[in-house]
Amino acid sequence: MQKPLEHKLALVTGASRGIGAAIAARLAREGAAVIVNYSASADKAEAVVNAIRAEGGQAEAVGADLSTLAGVAKLLAAVDGAFGGQYKGRLDILVNNAGTVDYGPFVDATDDAYDRQFNLNVRAPVALARDAAKRMIPAGWGRIINIGSAFGEAAPLPGVTLYIATKFAVRGLTKGLSRELGQYGITVNAVQPGPTDTELAPPPGSEAHATMTRLASVGRFARVDEIAAAVAYIASPEAAYTNGESLTVDGGWNA
Ligand SMILES: NC(=O)c1ccc[n+]([C@@H]2O[C@H](COP(=O)([O-])OP(=O)(O)OC[C@H]3O[C@@H](n4cnc5c(N)ncnc54)[C@H](OP(=O)(O)O)[C@@H]3O)[C@@H](O)[C@H]2O)c1
């Protein structure tokens, strides 16, 4: 039986660990050939690629630091040559997942903290989506999926103001771009995770982890595969009528 994403090329940014690694594995299971982007963790990215191949899927790792425009350009150049160049520059699914957060009071936030969070969380998705759209329009099909956050629609906790601002920007990008690209058979949606057990989130046992757990009415953090499942739905051909949506997967955090 044909898998839903067979013959599709997917790019997942920040896929060496955490949510991105789970998304890469899930899209590969759905049949896509997956470019696994990472910044520093070459070994972890290679492990993700090897795990996908061990399951019979297709994956390649590409190192590129997306906090710089040179890194974005490097990653896009790699898309052209991906999997021996067999996709001839086509890109079917872009998952803008790589992101970072600084914790602390807003009054102490530095300009560097602003650059670090906005360059990776907003500027890179904008640049990648612009390039991806140009590749998807001639094909008449595409999926752009931005990983926002439950912090992209509310501010239930202090100490992450700039991060919240980046994730509201991601939500706005998702809406605006969906309006432009729907006519070409390209959907643009976001998945907004709630607290998810990864290295980005406060560690289990910390006060912040306990507070965030209390805010989720299901009483726990998400597993990364629960976020990947939402991405798989939005990437699927059967989600063609879902456009401009930001799907919050937060265990009832923001309810
Ligand atoms: N975890 C949560 O509770 C949560 C909640 C809501 C939303 N999110 C969002 O979900 C996304 C993934 O978060 P996560 O929790 O999985 O984070 P994570 O565990 O910290 O993983 C981050 C991933 O991004 C990559 N990355 C970091 N800096 C990069 C850069 N400059 N260029 C390219 N890749 C880079 C990392 O690669 P290296 O290993 O090579 O550094 C890693 O693969 C983010 O957008 C985050 O805002 C997370």
Per-residue pLDDT of the chain (255 residues; tens, 9 = 90+): 899 999 999 999 999 999 999 999 999 999 999 999 999 999 999 999 999 999 999 999 999 999 999 999 999 999 999 999 999 999 999 999 999 999 999 999 999 999 999 999 999 999 999 999 999 999 999 999 999 999 999 999 999 999 999 999 999 999 999 999 999 999 999 999 999 999 999 999 999 899 999 999 999 999 999 999 999 999 999 999 999 999 999 999 999
User: What's the CA angle centered on 118, arms 69 and 244, to 5 degrees?
Assistant: 95
CA 100 to ligand 1 centroid distance, Å = 6
CA 198 to ligand 1 centroid distance, Å = 8
Q: Which residues are annotated as catalytic?
A: 163
Best mutation site among 103, 198, 215, 249 for ligand 1, i.e. most ligand atoms within 8 A of its Cβ?
198
pLDDT of the residue at 229: 98
pLDDT of the residue at 19: 98
Residue 174 CB less than 6 A away from ligand 1:
no
CA 97 to ligand 1 centroid distance, Å = 7
Give the pair of three-digit tokens for residue 98: 């790589």
Residue 97 CB less than 6 A away from ligand 1:
yes
pLDDT of the residue at 119: 98
Residue 120 CB less than 6 A away from ligand 1:
yes
CB 248 within 8 A of CB 192: yes
pLDDT of the residue at 140: 98
pLDDT of the residue at 1: 82
Best mutation site among 16, 19, 97 for ligand 1, i.e. most ligand atoms within 8 A of its Cβ?
19
Tell which residue, 91, 95, 82, has the closest CA to residue 25: 95
Burial of 136: CB neighbours in 10 Å, binned 0-12, 13-18, 19+: buried
CB 29 within 8 A of CB 58: no
Domains, in order of start, for the chain: 9-192+224-249 (3.40.50.720)
Best mutation site among 11, 12, 39, 160 for ligand 1, i.e. most ligand atoms within 8 A of its Cβ?
39
Pick the atom of ligand 1 nearest to 98's CA: 24
Pick the atom of ligand 1 nearest to 227's CA: 10
